[in-house]
Amino acid sequence: MKRFFTFKNLSLALLLLAAVLCVVYFISLTPPSEKLAENERIAEMLSQGGCVSCHTSNAEKPFYASLPVVGNVVVKDIEEGYRAFDIEPLCNALAAGEMPNPVDVAKVEKVTIDDRMPMPKYYLVHWGSSLTAAKRQIVLDWVRSRRIAMYDDNLPENRNAEPVRPVDTYIEYDPAKAELGFDLFHDTRLSVDNTVSCASCHDLATAGVDNHQYSHGVNDLMGGVNAPTVFNAVYNFVQFWDGRAATLAAQAAGPPLNPVEMASSSFDEIIAKLQADKAFAKKFNAVYPDGMTEANLTDAIEHFERTLITPGSRFDKWLMGDDSALTADELEGYELFKKYDCATCHAGKNLGGLSYELMGLRRHYFAARGLELTEEDNGRYKETKNERDRHRFKVPGLRNVEHTWPYYHDGTRHTLEEAVLDMGKYQSGVDLAQAEVDKITAYLKTLTGEYKGKPVTTTNSIDEIHGHE
């Protein structure tokens, strides 16, 4: 009799536990309350979905992380999750009611569309992490609303949720300061021997670059990193591959004093040369009453660089509603661009410049490259000394990319097709078929815009330039 009652009690306990688990499970499937603000609903789902359990620097390991075998898998998943995506800035933006980074929005959107997260093995242990159809729609509606509010570009309804946006036709700047900035940008007196200007490495006639693997400075010295284009740099959230300059003005202050670029000893030296030019000094003082200073010189260059936008690309015309602007192959290339996660990092108006990303996310780029590592290969780590930032770089913009070869921070890829193939391999973890490479490349060529009403181009020859490296 005693054994019977024990069994009966055990059965009742198990039934009660099953009932509780079922209630918890079905509650977890319920979307966050509609009474919550939009950002609060998203924040709740990020928490319930387990995103913060892997994609943060201080992720708390679950109790089973201490178990043999299983624990190793859990720890590795957390490390890989944080390596791929730090979700803390997004969570902070949601909590503060601020506009999130377009790249963070694009990453959340992509894993939602692909139903990629949470991983099945996480879901097996955490039932509440399930992303139901209703929750998925909430996320996608939030993505659309954020982009409409973020860009305010009045795209047609069938385009206004795209992760890529048109270049502005105008950005505010001071014309008088910009005119001075133009003069300074092309002035070799910023260099110690009066031989090198900003335009020497960032020629506006050659897509804002020089098409060299590494640019040549004074005395024909060479740097150790590929010079990015100045076109559309105004859209970058920081400047330089390693992000060491927060503004265009701060970026402009770097090369004049760099020992292998312009090698001037100080801005006092530069100012003395410029002030000796009475006509230029008079023109400058009329715009800046407090005279020539480092801050005023770099401010003028920044105002000029704000004018270096390139609207009018065929892709922008398509975004704005012209269905005839792209061919079928180019449109398919754009869909492949999104399918293989390219648009999660190359988002926004410049298709990049909005985040730091790891070079070799899915496969080890530097091991395969076969070249000795350099200090420049450390990327953002140079500035932060944070191990997570090693080999992490500001994502380059893709506007006018067909003319801005060679590619990557190390300038090792001389054709767009090579770059596309390797980006698929090392960043997306896919081996692209040649037909896919061709279509993505065709799409990227539709990103070529216009500067002062004329298409951006380069007069340099790949073979000629490569032969003189």
The pTM assigned to this predicted structure is 0.91
Query: Does residue 41 share a domain with residue 79?
Result: yes
At residue 64, does pLDDT exceed 80? no
pLDDT band, residue 443 (cuts 50/70/90)? very high
Say which residues have a Cβ less than 8 Å from residue 156's Cβ, sequence separation at least 6.
320, 321
Query: Does residue 214 share a domain with residue 79?
Result: no
Query: Does residue 460 share a domain with residue 336?
Result: yes
Query: pLDDT tens digits, residue range 12-39?
Result: 655 565 554 454 445 455 667 777 888 8
Q: Of the candidates 267, 283, 305, which is a domain's last residue?
A: 305
Structural domain boundaries enclosing 354: 314-467
Query: Does residue 185 share a domain with residue 132?
Result: no
Give a yes or no: residue 45 inside a domain: yes
Give a yes or no: residue 40 inside a domain: yes
At residue 381, does pLDDT exceed 80? yes
Say how far residue 327 (Cα) sits from the centre of its chain.
Answer: 27
Query: Does residue 436 share a domain with residue 379?
Result: yes
Give a yes or no: residue 14 inside a domain: no
pLDDT of residue 130: 72
Residue-averaged pLDDT of the chain:
90
pLDDT of residue 116: 84
Query: Does residue 422 share a domain with residue 374?
Result: yes
Q: Cβ(202)–Cβ(190) under 8 Å?
A: no
Give a yes or no: residue 6 inside a domain: no
User: Beta partners for 222?
Assistant: 216
pLDDT band, residue 52 (cuts 50/70/90)? confident
Task: State the catalytic residues.
Answer: 261
Query: Does residue 181 share a domain with residue 36?
Result: no
Give a yes or no: residue 109 inside a domain: yes
Query: Does residue 40 share a domain with residue 138?
Result: yes
Local structure of 348: helix, strand or coil: strand
pLDDT band, residue 61 (cuts 50/70/90)? confident
Closest among 230, 246, 110 to 181, alpha carbons compared: 230
Higher pLDDT, 12 or 399: 399
Largest CA distance in the chain: 111
Angle at 302 between CA 298 and CA 306, to 5 degrees: 170
Give a yes or no: residue 160 inside a domain: no
Closest among 5, 460, 403, 57 to 228, alpha carbons compared: 403
- CATH code assigned at 401: 1.10.760.10
pLDDT band, residue 455 (cuts 50/70/90)? very high
At residue 347, does pLDDT exceed 80? yes
Query: Does residue 410 share a domain with residue 358?
Result: yes
Give a yes or no: residue 170 inside a domain: no
Give a yes or no: residue 47 inside a domain: yes
Q: Which of 64-68, 193-197, 348-352 has the lowest mean pLDDT?
A: 64-68
Local structure of 222: helix, strand or coil: strand
Q: Of the candidates 116, 151, 186, which is a domain's last residue?
A: 151
Query: pLDDT tens digits, residue range 282-332?
Result: 999 999 999 999 999 999 999 999 999 999 999 999 999 999 999 999 999
Query: Does residue 275 share a domain with residue 323?
Result: no
Query: Does residue 325 share a domain with residue 292?
Result: no
Q: Of the candidates 117, 151, 185, which is a domain's last residue?
A: 151
Domain count, the chain: 3
Query: Does residue 323 share a domain with residue 280?
Result: no
